[in-house]
């Protein structure tokens, strides 16, 4: 079946602009995660959804970052007033369960460049 998909694959924006990044999880997966990967480092957790609600947003760096999952499927990560330090690859993952111990599957990522 189809894997996790993310759009756009690349996004270049000017400092101060607003951006939205989209994630389509694997069909039927109830858990959805966002991670961020900076150059030369491993991915770092941002936020986790169980269904429609954000169960853990402890990884969001500040209040410029926000994510939604209104119908429990597609999710959008929103970044306001972008800064050059926001440049990174944003990865989305999904898993079939909402308790611990389920395998996570990652999308190809969105490479965000803030100029």
Residues of the shown chain interacting with another protein in the complex, contacts defined by CB under 8 A = 31, 33, 35, 37, 41-45, 48, 55-56, 58-59, 89, 91, 93, 98-106, 108-109, 111
* Smallest distance, another protein to C-beta of residue 100, A: 4
Helix (H, G, I), strand (E, B) or coil at 11: strand
The length of the chain, given as a count of residues = 115
Q: Kindly state the smallest distance separating residue 108's Cβ from another protein, in Å.
A: 5
* C-alpha closest to that of 28 among 2, 65, 59, 8: 2
Closest to another protein by CB, 14 vs 101, is 101
Nearest approach in angstroms of CB 102 to another protein is 7
With 0-12 CB in 10 A as exposed, 13-18 as middle and 19+ as buried, what is 10? exposed
């Amino acid at each position: 079946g189809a894997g996790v998909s993310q759009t756009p694959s690349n996004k270049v924006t000017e400092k101060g602009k607003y951006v939205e990044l989209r994630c389509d999880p694997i069909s039927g997966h109830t858990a959805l995660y966002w991670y961020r990967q900076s150059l030369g480092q491993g991915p770092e957790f941002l936020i986790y959804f169980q269904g429609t609600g954000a169960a853990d947003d402890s990884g969001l760096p500040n209040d410029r970052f926000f994510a939604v999952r209104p119908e429990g499927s597609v999710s959008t990560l929103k970044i306001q007033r972008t800064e050059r330090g926001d440049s990174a690859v944003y990865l989305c993952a999904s898993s079939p369960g909402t308790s611990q111990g389920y395998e996570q599957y990652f999308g190809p990522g969105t490479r965000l460049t803030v100029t």
